Structure 1
Amino acid sequence: MPFAVSCSPVTGGPRPGAAPMSEGVREHAARTPHAVALRDSTGAELTFAAVDLAVDRLVSLLRAHAVRPGDRLCWVLHNRVEVLLLALAAQRLGALTVPLSYRASPGEFERMLAVARPRVLVVERTTAKLVPAAATTCPRLDLDDPSTDPASWPVGERTGEPGGTNRLGAGSSLIFTSGTTGSPKAAVRTRGDRALAEAIARGFGIGGGSRFLSAGPLYHSGPLTCALMVLAKGGAVTVLPRFDSHDWLAAAIRDDCDGAFLTPSQLRAIVEVAEQGGKNPASLRNVVVSGEPFPGELKRRAVAAFGPVFLDCYGCTELGPLTVLPAAELLRSPRSCGRPFPGVTVRAFDGDRELGPGERGVLRARTPLSFVAYRGASGDHPAEAAGGWATVGDIGYLDERGYVYVVDRGNDLIISGGVNVYPADVEAVLLEHPVIRQCAVVGVPDERWGEAVCATVVTSTDLTVDQLRTWLIGRLADDKRPRRLVRVAELPVNGTGKVSRRLVRDLLATRPEPRVR
C-alpha cells in the first residue's frame, strides 16, 4: 500500500537495545511515545513512537539501496509528512538531503541532478514523470508504489542519534539557491552549533509544546528547517500539501496551532482574508515571517488583524537565521529585522571597510551555521572571505543599537541617471498609498536614464502614473519616483511563495506601457 496510508496512530514504547540519545525524535519516542508528532491535511496523526518506527524502516529501505554516510539523498516531492520522515532517516544514516523543487523544468532537473549526484532519487506518482529518465542513473524510489511501503521493511541494526543534532533537527544538506535559471548551485550545509540552534528555537518560540503549521514548500530551507526543529524539540507539526490562505486559517483553527513559518506574501494573503471577516485562530503565538522584506505597512495590518504574534527574521539558505525582531518589538521598530542571535555577528561593509551606524553597504555575517561552499557544475566554491565573513550580497545597515535593516538585494539595485535606487525603499512608500495593495519595483532599460524605476502594482481602483507621481511629491525623492506604472491582477511569485522581481521583469518585457520622460 502507498506509504501515505500509514499516517495513522501507532502506539508503543521504545524498542530494546536503543543507543544513547541526544534530544531528537528518538528521545521523544522514549519519553512521550503517545504524543502527536505529525498531522497531515486530513487530520490523521503519527505519534512520536510511530515516527521513530517509520524512520527506522526508511533507514532499512535506504540501506538496501546502498545509501551510506556522506551520500546524497535527493527527493522531488510535494508537501507530505514523508518529506520530514525522509529527512530524519537521512540524518540517522549520516546522509545529506537534497530537496528539489517539483516546479523545475526537465532541463533544470538534469542540471541540478548533475550537480547533486544523488545515491537515490525519491519521487511520487505526480513527480515521477517530471524528471527525465536520462537525468540520473541512480535508483528511484516512488513513495506511491506499493513495493516501497516501509511497513514491509524490517527494522535493522539501530545506531545512535546522528552528530547533526547540533543543527537541532535540520541535518546536513545541499540546498539549491539558483537552480531555476542558468547554471545551478547548491549551498553545502554541514556545520552545526547547538547553543545557536537553541537560541534560534527560543527566538522562534519553538519548544516541546509547539503546534506548528507548515504550508510553505518543504524543498525550501525555511519551512523545512523550522518543521524539523519543532520535531527535535518534541512539538507537533501539521503539514499542508500547499499554501492556501483559507486552508491555512482552517488548519490553524482545527489543530490549535501556535506557530508557523510564512513569507510576507503568504501573510498578506492571510491578512486580506481576515480583513474580509474570516475567522481568526486564537491560538497563534509565534509566527516566523521571513524570506523577503517584511514591510512596515504589512506589519501594522497583521498585528491589527491577529495581535502581536508575528516576528521578523532575516536569514538565508546559505547562512541560516541571522536576526530576529520579537513580536513585542514588531511595531516599535517596523523597518528593522531585529538584532543578531547570540553567537552571530552582522556588519555592513564597503569593500573591506566596515561601516558605521546608518551607513549602507553589503551585509556580511559571521555565524557557526554558515554554509561550507557552493557546489556547482564546475566544482565547489568556498563560502567565506577573509576573517570568516560570508555574504549573499544583501544591502543594508545597522543602527546605533545594533538593529539590522535590510535595504535590498544587491542584484536588484536600480541605477537611474547615476543615482542608486533601492526597490525596497520605494516599495515601502508605495504601500502607504490608499489604493495600492501590493507592489514590486524593478528597473527597466531607458535610453535617457539608463534604467527607469517601474512600479508593478495591484490596486483596488484605477491609478495612473501621473497620479502616483503627484502623490509621491514630498514622500519620495524625484529620482526615485516611478516613471512607469503597470497595474496587474496579481504579482508573480516563485516556488517559495515570494514575489519574484525576475518574473516581474519578464512580465514587463511583454507589456509596453507609456512612461514619464
Structure 2
Amino acid sequence: MYPNWVLQRAKLTPSRIALTYEGISWTWEQMKTISLERAKQLSMFNIQDGNRIAILGPSQPRLIFMIYGCMHLRCEMVMLNRKLAKDELAYQIEDANVSLVLVDDEDINLLPEGTNYILFSTIENKNAKGQGVSISEEWALDQTITIMYTSGTTGFPKGVRQTVANHQANALSSVLNIGLSEKDTWLCAVPLFHISGFSILVRSLLYGNEVRLYRKFDPNQAVEDISAGNVTHMSVVAVTLERIIHGLEERGLKASEDFKVMLAGGGPVPKNYIERAHSLGLAVSQTYGMTETSSQTATLSNEDALRKLGSAGKPLFFNQIRIANASGPSEEGEILIKGPHVTPGYVGRFSNKNSTVNGWLHTGDIGYLDEEGYLYVVDRRSDLIISGGENIYPAEIENVLMGHSAIREAGVCGIEDETWGQVPIAFVVLKDYATKDDILSYCLNKLAKYKVPKEIYIVQTLPRNGSNKLMRRKLKELIETNN
C-alpha cells in the first residue's frame, strides 16, 4: 500500500505552488482542500469507491480538481479524448462499461445522445457541507487509476489500464533520468486526456513541482515562458517543437538558462529541428513510449542528441528493452518491453487479451539496438500513421469508410506532410455513385478531425496479395494512375 498521492503531497509541501493557470496559482494545500470538496460532492451522486466513470473536458483547473476528487474515491477514470467524433466516444463509453460520464459544461455537445452524464457545474454547485465520505488514505499498487483508449490494428480501440504501480514506476524512472529540483516547473500544453498530459500531473504529485497549465498549445506564450525562465520542462511532439523553435528564431530569443529539457515524443524529430534547438540553447531529449507503458520507456539524453541522431535512447532505469529474435546489434525485429510501467491489461472487448507474453509487451513496432544499446525505431507498427503526435491506424478509418452505403472497398495509408509529419489519405472502390465531398462529409461525422482523410481517391481496384489481403504499402502507387 502507498499513501494517497494528493494527501501526501499536501502534507509534505503544503505551501508550495502546485498549479498555475492564466496568472492564477494554487498551493498543494489548496489543491487538497478543493479536491476533497469534489470527492464529497461526487459522493452525493452515488459515486463510490472503485466506480468506473468517464471524464470529458478541456485542460483547465476544474478538470484537475475533478480528477483529484475521483482519485480520492479510488475511481477508475476513463479519460475521454475530446477530439473524437460522437460515434467514437460512444464506443469507448459502452466498451468500458462506465457508470457515469462527468463532463465540463462546454463539452456537453460532444457527448453522444443517450449518455448518462453529470455536468461539472452541477457537481461543483452541490452543497456538500457536513457530507461524510470515506477518503482512502492508502492506495494499492494494483489499483487502476486511469483507462485510456489507444487505436488498434483491428480498427477497434483498446482500453488500456494504468495502475498506481504503472504511473509511479514511470514517474520514478523519469526523475532518475532528468533529475529534480524544488524550483522545477513543468509546462503542460498537451491534453490531460493523453498519457503525455496525465503523466505530467503524476510527476507533479510525486515530485512536488509546479505545473503551468495551458488550455491548448500556444506557441507565442510558450516562447515567452521558455525564454523568460518561467518553466524548466516541457513535453512536445515534432510539430509543436518546430513552432517553438521558429518563434524563438523569429523574435531573436534563446531558451533561458533555467530551462532544463524538452521531452519530444510521438515520432522521430528531424535533424534540422535538433540542430536549430541546440543553437538556441534548447535542450531536447527524444523519447519512445506508448499508452501501454504509461508514457516513456526510453529517452535519448540531450548530450547524445546529435551523436545518436534518430535514436530514442536507452531504456529508463526500471525498464528493459529487447528486440525479438535478434542475435546481435543493429538487427531489426519487433521491439519488446518489460517493466513495472507496463499495463496489466485491458478492459471491454479486449479484457481477455494478455498484455504481455512471458512478461514482455509486444509493441508491434520494428526497431533495433545499436552496439551501445541505443534504441532506433524503424517503423511504428508498420501501417501506423503519426500525425502531429497523434497515432492513427488505417484499419480504424477503413472500418468507418466501409460503413458508407456507396463504398465497396477501402484502403488507407499515410503520406508525408510538412506541418504534421504525416496525414491519412484514402482509396475507395465504389458500388454506388458518391462524390469525394459526400465521403468526406460522412467521415467528418464519424471520425475525429485529425483522422479524416486529407484526400479521397476513387479507384477501380485496390492492391491485394495472393491471400486477398490489402497491401497498404502499394496504395501510394495508385495516386499517379488516378491523376
What TM-score results when the alignment is normalised by the length of structure 2? 0.76
The counterpart of 2:24, out of the listed 24, 39, 44, is: 44
The counterpart of 1:383, out of the listed 355, 359, 362, is: 355
Name the CA shift for 1:516/1:359 in 2 (closer, same or farther; >3 Å): farther
Name the CA shift for 1:239/1:388 in 2 (closer, same or farther; >3 Å): same
Q: Give the drift of 1:515.
A: 7.6
**Matched residue, 1:66:** 46
In the alignment, does 2:273 pair up with 1:298? yes
Unaligned runs of 5+ in 1: 1-19, 414-422, 428-439, 443-450, 460-498
In the alignment, does 2:305 pair up with 1:334? no
Q: Give the drift of 1:285.
A: 0.7
In the alignment, does 2:163 pair up with 1:190? yes
In the alignment, does 2:69 pair up with 1:103? no
Cα distance between partner residues in 2 of 1:63 and 1:280: 49
The counterpart of 1:233, out of the listed 202, 207, 223, is: 207
Cα distance between partner residues in 2 of 1:142 and 1:292: 36
> CA-to-partner distance for each residue in 1:335-357, whole Å, 9 max, x for gaps?
211111122111111xxx24421
Name the CA shift for 1:364/1:454 in 2 (closer, same or farther; >3 Å): closer
**Contact 1:75–1:121 (8 Å) recurs in 2:** yes
Question: The residue matched to 2:321 in structure 1 has which SS?
Answer: strand
**Matched residue, 1:57:** 37
Name the CA shift for 1:233/1:94 in 2 (closer, same or farther; >3 Å): same
Residues 326-335 or 72-81, more deviating: 326-335
**Contact 1:54–1:150 (8 Å) recurs in 2:** no
Residues 256-265 or 117-126, more deviating: 117-126
Corresponding letter in the other structure for 2:220: H
The counterpart of 1:406, out of the listed 373, 377, 391, is: 377
Q: Give the drift of 1:181.
A: 9.8
Name the CA shift for 1:31/1:172 in 2 (closer, same or farther; >3 Å): closer
Cα distance between partner residues in 1 of 2:243 and 2:132: 46
Cα distance between partner residues in 1 of 2:28 and 2:226: 21
Name the CA shift for 1:177/1:280 in 2 (closer, same or farther; >3 Å): same
In the alignment, does 2:397 pair up with 1:397? no
Name the CA shift for 1:108/1:32 in 2 (closer, same or farther; >3 Å): same
Cα distance between partner residues in 2 of 1:378 and 1:327: 38
In the alignment, does 2:336 pair up with 1:364? yes
**Contact 2:53–2:78 (8 Å) recurs in 1:** yes
Question: The residue matched to 1:265 in structure 2 has which SS?
Answer: helix
> CA-to-partner distance for each residue in 1:83-109, whole Å, 9 max, x for gaps?
322332232222111111112212112
Cα distance between partner residues in 1 of 2:147 and 2:128: 30
Corresponding letter in the other structure for 2:204: V
**Matched residue, 2:118:** 141
In the alignment, does 2:306 pair up with 1:313? no
**Matched residue, 1:216:** 190
Cα distance between partner residues in 2 of 1:155 and 1:281: 49
Cα distance between partner residues in 2 of 1:219 and 1:315: 16
> CA-to-partner distance for each residue in 1:171-206, whole Å, 9 max, x for gaps?
621101028994332111226165664222232445
Cα distance between partner residues in 2 of 1:324 and 1:217: 21
Q: Give the drift of 1:252.
A: 4.2
**Contact 2:145–2:164 (8 Å) recurs in 1:** yes
Corresponding letter in the other structure for 1:90: C
Q: Give the drift of 1:379.
A: 4.4
In the alignment, does 2:8 pair up with 1:27? yes
Name the CA shift for 1:154/1:39 in 2 (closer, same or farther; >3 Å): farther
- State the Cα RMSD in Å: 3.6
Q: Give the drift of 1:35.
A: 1.6
Name the CA shift for 1:159/1:328 in 2 (closer, same or farther; >3 Å): same
Corresponding letter in the other structure for 1:389: W
**Matched residue, 1:163:** 139
Residues 31-40 or 83-92, more deviating: 83-92
Aligned residues: 414
Q: Give the drift of 1:219.
A: 0.8
Q: Give the drift of 1:38.
A: 0.7
Q: Give the drift of 1:216.
A: 0.7
